[in-house]
Structures are given as C-alpha cells and as structure tokens.
Amino acid sequence: MIDIHYIYHSCFAVETDTALLVYDYWKDCEDNRLHTLIDNRGDKQLYFIVSHFHEDHFNPEILDFSDAKLLVSYDTSKRRHIKPPEATVVLRPTDIYEDELIRLNALRSTDVGIASLVTLSDGTTIYHAGDNNNWYFPENEEEHIRCTLDEMEGMFMSNLREVRAITKSVDYVMFPVDPRLNGEMLRGVCQWLQQVHTGHFYPMHCWGRWDEVYNGLEKLLDLFPETEFDCTSGKESKEEPIFLE
C-alpha cells in the first residue's frame, strides 16, 4: 500500500504500510491533513525529509516530533542549525541513507540543497525534486538565476543523467511546475519525462495557481500516455494563488 497526499506547495506525505514520509513541510493544508495523518499513523515510522533551507520548504515544527527521523540537507543543517543528534542524518549530493524501511539517494539540485530518490523495501521508487528544475527564465533572466540559460539547461540535464545512472524508471515523482516560468513552465517537466519513465507525476511548487498548472499539464497527456498525472489534489487543497515577482 502506498498513498500520496498533497499537503501544501512542495509538501507531500507519502504513506506506506510501515512508514509516513513527509517531504518539505512548510504549511499544513486547510483541513489539517498532515497533522491528522501524523496523529493517526499508529506505529508507522515518521520521517521528515528536507530538501533545502528555503522558507517555503522548511518548518521548525519538525523538531517537535521526538520519535521522527529527520533527514536534512547540508544547507538546512547549516542555515537552520539542525545537527546530529537532532538530525538523524545530514545529506549532501551522492550521499546514501539506509535503514530497515527505506534507502535514500541524495541527488544534485540546480538550486541549493538536494533532490531525493527513495526506494522502499518492496522496490517502489519515489523521487522528490526539491528545487531541482530547469529554471529557464527567458524574461528578466538576470533577476532569477545566477548563470546563463544555457548553463542552467546543462546543469539540469546533467542532473537527469545522475538519476538515470541509478534508475531509468520511477514510480512516483513530485516535481516543480512553476507558473513564474511562463511559457517555459513545462520545459523541465518534459525533459524529465523524456529521460525518466514515470508512473505517477505530481506537480508542486505551483504557488496555488492550479488553473495555469493543470491547463499546461493537459497538453502532456497525449505526449506521455504511460504517465498518470495528478490533476486534482491542488484544487482540492483550496490553496490560494500567490503571485510573486
């Protein structure tokens, strides 16, 4: 059994028979779904996985759960002052964390921190990108990225090759679909789907602008028929749109 629960922005709770994995918790959704899942998890092991230190990916509340395992990126450890033993492990790209329930490969990001590829004991694979994406901002380029568009694209494609060196197929993928990229919103998404066979795709980092995101993803349904796209969870969360400069 595996259930993917969209929570807010880039936060997901992944529920298995033996574990509850919470990625990039920032805020709970309107119905307090995350806290309900945590309270009702029984004897399932709770994990908090933090891809990087940015405010929209981190909530210090994770430190309040004494029975949770905290798997945090190196920059989160430094900037949020979370070190072992509070942190179960501090992860840099290429690091591997493994226990009796999961194996986590920490992978590179085109932004700070890490992406993560988790393999469950039954072989199920879960990829959470964090802020790994092709941040291709052709408009106001210099305001958003510290490199050229060609350099950004090169970094992202290199990161995809790193994933493919481990696996060419992932069961569940959580990936940024950011409307701030305007006409290039789906650039990184398509490059990922062309390189990595994806069973289920979940958009995130959408700033509540779900109409734009889902209208875009509809264009991909025929291009990638073997992938099941989640086109409902965001609207169901009643997340208010945020428009950032």
Note the pLDDT tens digit of each residue in 25-84.
999 999 999 999 999 999 999 999 999 999 999 999 999 999 999 999 999 999 999 999
Q: Please give the pLDDT value at position 245.
A: 56
Q: Please give the pLDDT value at position 207.
A: 96
Whether residue 144 is predicted with pLDDT greater than 80 in this model: the reply is: no
In a domain, 175, yes or no: yes
Domain CATH number, residue 204:
3.60.15.10
Residues spanned by the domain of 198: 2-236
In a domain, 159, yes or no: yes
Whether residue 24 is predicted with pLDDT greater than 90 in this model: the reply is: yes
Number of domains composing the chain: 1
Q: Please give the pLDDT value at position 242.
A: 83
In a domain, 241, yes or no: no
In a domain, 21, yes or no: yes
Q: Please give the pLDDT value at position 143.
A: 60
In a domain, 244, yes or no: no
* Per-residue pLDDT band at 142 (split at 50, 70, 90): low
Q: Concatenate the DSSP letters of all residues of 101-158 into one string.
A: SEEEEEE--SSSS-EEEEEETTS-EEEE-TT-S-----SSHHHH-SS-HHHHHHHHHH
Side chain identity, residue 137: F
Measured CA angle at 230 (ends 50, 104), to 5 deg: 30
> Three-class SS of residue 162?
helix
In a domain, 243, yes or no: no
Report yes or no: 7 and 13 within 8 Å, Cβ to Cβ: yes
Q: Which two tokens stand for residue 237?
A: 């969360």
Report yes or no: 150 and 110 within 8 Å, Cβ to Cβ: no
